[in-house]
Amino acid sequence: MKKIITLAVLMVTCLGASAQTVDWKFAAPFETFKGDPVDLNQVIGKQPVYLKFWASWCLDCRREFPELEEDYRRLTQGDNPGKLAMFAVNLNLNEELSNVDRLVKQHNMSIPVLFDNNGNIASHFSFQGTPFHVLINARGEVVYTSYHHDETLVNLMDKLAAGENVKPVASSLTESLASPSQKSSREDGIFFFTTTWCVDYMKDVQPELSEHCQQALDFMQQLHQQNPSVAVKVYVTHLWTAESDVKQFAETTKIPYPVTLDNNNQQFQRYKVSQYPTLLVVKAGKDVERIENFENAKSVAQKLEKYLAK
Do 164 and 188 belong to one domain? no
- Boundary of a domain, candidates 115, 150, 177: 177
Tens digits of per-residue pLDDT, 52-84?
A: 999 999 999 999 999 999 999 999 876 666 689
Residue 310 lies in a domain: no
Check if the beta carbon of residue 307 is closer than 8 Å to that of residue 284.
no
How much is the pLDDT for 310?
53
pLDDT score of 21? 54
State whether 46 and 132 are in the same domain: yes
**Residue 51, helix vs strand vs coil:** strand
54: three-class secondary structure by DSSP = strand
Q: Do both 164 and 185 map to the same domain?
A: no
Residues 107 and 13 in one domain: yes
- Give the predicted TM-score (pTM) of the model: 0.84
CATH code, domain with 190: 3.40.30.10
Is 55 in a helix, a strand, or coil? coil
Q: Do 63 and 171 belong to one domain?
A: yes
Residues 211, 254, single domain; the answer is yes
> Are residue 13 and residue 149 in the same domain, yes or no?
yes
Residue 307 lies in a domain: no
Query: Which segments of the chain have a pLDDT < 50?
Result: 2-18, 171-181
Question: Which of 134, 154, 177 is a domain's end point?
Answer: 177
The last residue of one of the domains, among 177, 204, 238, is 177
Residues 296, 310: Cα–Cα separation, whole Å: 24
The per-residue pLDDT for 22 is 66
Domain check: are 126 and 255 in the same one? Answer: no
Same domain, yes or no, for 202 and 138?
no
Number of domains observed in the structure of the chain: 2
Q: Are 12 and 108 part of one and the same domain?
A: yes
The span from the CA of 235 to the CA of 255, in Å, is 12
Nearest to 75 by CA among 17, 184, 164, 160: 160
Task: Please answer whether residues 299 and 209 qualify as being in contact, where contact means their C-beta atoms are separated by less than 8 angstroms.
Answer: no
Handedness of CA 71, 72, 78, 83 (dihedral sign): positive
Full residue range of the structural domain in which residue 143 is found: 2-177
